[in-house]
Chains A and B, each alone.
Chain A
Amino acid sequence: MANETVATGQRTQLKMTVNGKPVDVEIESREMLLDVVRDRLGLTGAKRSCDLQVCGVCTLLVDGIPVSSCCTLAYEADGKSVETVEGLARFGDLHPIQQSFIDKGALQCGFCTSGMMLATKALLAENPHPTVDEIKHGLAGNICRCTGYWNIIEAVEESARRLATENGGGE
């Protein structure tokens, strides 16, 4: 190349943390984060459905921000912290969001669930006590074809209550 700009080449090194653990893999620059997480790391909780960032089943948190991992180059996770559903439980204890989804019947086939819970985690991190309208708006990008959504709203409200109690009122 004529200039000295850094470029990845068709392959590049990806160093990130996933659920708190360091990961160092060589990837193709064209690979999406969803495929690296599912196929390379075996974390199959995140799913592929619409593949065009509309449905949300591929939602992952990158530095706490929800992204459509089907349309996010894995390269973007370099130097960042990625959370998947497999990282929600802590030392075998379910995360309050997971427990709330179970208790409120907020899942049926389960295919949208990991994305839905991660989206919930991001929502509650910046709005610990959302109204029903705020929940609907925050999760509008996560589609569920089974539940009809009401139980999910209740699960998010329950999650907010549990997290507030846990954190003594704020995170």
Chain B
Amino acid sequence: MLDHLTIHEPKSVMEASSLLTEFGSDAAIYAGGTELLVVMKERLIHFPHLINIKTIPGLDSISLDGDSISIGALATHRAIERSALVREHLPLLAELEANVANVRVRSTGTIGGNLCFAEPHSDPATLLMAWDASVVLQSSNSRREIPLSEFFTGLLETSRGQDEVLTAVRIPHPVPVGSAYERFKIHERPTATVAVTLSLSGDMVTGARIVVGSVCDRPVRIRAAEESLIGLSTVRAAEVAAAIVHDEIDPTEDNFESTDYKRHLARVLTTRAIAIATARASGGHRG
């Protein structure tokens, strides 16, 4: 049984932010609770004050606003999977969300909670980062938007301020047609994930994003690999980029897979993702 706690029901982001300030490290934002309640049950940490942001209206909407798609922080994995808008414009994300954890976690867990908890093995961040997504962080007296690539600062750490609430994820629209996402999973959480986007001119690469997730303490953009592809022919792209990914990443050591093997997986998944992204970019299939 958990230790005693109180659940607060703010009606606005401002209220939520004030509560976070008031209770400091005794408070945690509580949405789906799929990560939070598990670590509390494992007695790794306790928060006597849960700030239930599900009582704040409007944080779960998914909308297209001109040049970006906005996904509210409270959108569950299930809602994202099923959203007509996501299926039309971000089908890769819909497919990813359909495979997060299990059906019960998908029904309850939110994208905001997932990103803020920053579990190193979690999926969505890898793909969102490849799409240059950003997160909107609000407090009672501020609002800022930062790229996801600056949001994750370390193992289970983000740059969210103590009094800030992540309210939305914004994805530049449209995402590159040449997008791909590959995943290797044998445990409950993925061992390695790679997201790639490619822009082509003929069979020459003009733009690339390569993000490796689940292997290090947070998802990482491999800029050296991205830069190596510019101007390169698609014939050589996979081989060149995958080799750089292999050498550049610094996998976390754990008791399950060796760092050598994780590097190898990152290389294999990069190769596969680039092949698929290339095919899509050339064939015009939406990523």
Chain A residues within CB distance 8 Å of chain B? 1-3, 5-10, 12, 28-31, 35, 51-54, 56, 59, 65-68, 71-73, 75, 119, 122-123, 137-142
Q: Is the CB of A75 within 8 A of B7?
A: yes
Q: A54-B102, A140-B102, A141-B101 are in contact. Are A67 and B7 (CB under 8 A)?
A: no
Whose C-beta in chain B lies nearest to the C-beta of A52? B38
Q: Judge if B33 is at the interface, Cβ distance under 8 Å.
A: yes
In the assembled complex, the Cα of A139 lies from the Cα of B22 at a distance in Å of 42
- From A8, A30, A66, B107 is in contact (CB under 8 Å) with A66
Is B19 close to A, CB under 8 A?
yes
In B51-110, the 8 Å CB interface with A consists of 55, 78, 98, 101-105, 107-108
Most buried by A among B8, B10, B104, B105: B104
Given A3-B18, A29-B6, A56-B104, 20 new contacts (CB under 8 A): A3-B22, A5-B19, A6-B9, A7-B9, A8-B7, A10-B5, A29-B4, A35-B1, A53-B34, A53-B38, A54-B188, A59-B104, A66-B107, A67-B104, A68-B105, A71-B34, A75-B7, A139-B103, A140-B102, A142-B102
Determine how close the nearest CB of chain A comes to the CB of B44; give it in whole angstroms.
12
Assess the B5–A65 pair: CB atoms within 8 A: no
Given contacts A3-B19, A52-B41, A71-B38, contact A10 B103 (CB under 8 A): no
Contact present for B7 and A7 (CB under 8 Å):
yes
B119 at the interface (CB under 8 A from A): no
Give the distance in Å from the alpha carbon of A51 to the alpha carbon of B42 in the complex: 10
Q: Lowest 9 CB-CB distances: which A-B pairs, in order?
A: A141-B102, A30-B2, A7-B8, A6-B9, A8-B7, A68-B104, A65-B107, A10-B4, A71-B37
Which chain B residues (183-229) contact chain A, with CB distance < 8 Å?
188
Interfacial chain B residues near A31, Cβ < 8 Å = 1
Q: How far is the CA of A31 from the CA of B102 in the complex (A)?
A: 23
Contact indicator A12/B105 (Cβ below 8 Å): no
Q: Which residues of B contact A59 (CB under 8 A)?
A: 104
Give the residue of A3, A30, A66 whose beta carbon is less than 8 angstroms from that of B1: A30
- Chain A: minimal CB distance from B82 (Å): 9
- Which of chain B's residues have a CB closer than 8 A to the CB of A53? 34, 38, 102, 104-105
Q: Which residues of A contact B15 (CB under 8 A)?
A: 3, 5
- By beta carbon, the residue of chain A nearest B54 is A76
What's the nearest-Cβ distance from chain A to residue B30, in Å?
9
Taken residue by residue from 16 to 40, chain B's Cβ proximity to chain A (1 for < 8 Å, 0 otherwise) reads as: 0011001000000000011001100
Say whether B254 faces chain A, with CB atoms less than 8 Å apart.
no
Q: Across the A-B interface, how many residue pairs have beta carbons closer than 8 Å?
A: 93
Q: How far is the CA of A139 from the CA of B103 in the complex (A)?
A: 8
- Which residue numbers of B lie inside 8 Å of A, CB to CB? 1-11, 15, 18-19, 22, 33-34, 37-38, 41-42, 55, 78, 98, 101-105, 107-108, 188
**B103/A138 in contact, CB under 8 A:** yes
CA gap between A5 and B17 in the complex, in Å: 12
Residue numbers in A under 8 Å from B18 (CB-CB)? 2-3
Cα separation A53 to B2 with both chains bound (whole Å):
15
CB distance from B52 to the nearest CB of A (A): 8
Could you say which residues of chain A place their CB within 8 Å of the CB of B2? Answer: 30
B108 touches A8 (CB 8 A): no
Q: How far is it, in angstroms, between the C-alpha of A144 and the C-alpha of B101 when the chains are bound? A: 17
- Judging by beta carbons under 8 Å apart, are A12 and B107 in contact? no
The answer on a CB contact under 8 Å between A141 and B105 is yes
Which residue of the partner chain A has the closest CB to B102?
A: A141
* Residues of A contacting B8 in the complex (Cβ-Cβ under 8 angstroms): 5-8
Contact between chains at B5 and A29 (CB < 8 Å): yes
The reply to whether B11 and A119 form a contact with Cβ atoms under 8 Å apart is: no
Q: Which residues of B contact A68 (CB under 8 A)?
A: 104-105, 108
Q: Can you list 25 A-B pairs, Cβ within 8 angstroms, ordered by A?
A: A2-B18, A3-B18, A5-B8, A5-B9, A5-B11, A5-B15, A7-B7, A7-B9, A8-B6, A8-B9, A9-B6, A30-B3, A31-B1, A53-B34, A54-B188, A65-B108, A71-B33, A71-B38, A71-B41, A72-B108, A73-B7, A75-B7, A137-B98, A140-B102, A141-B103
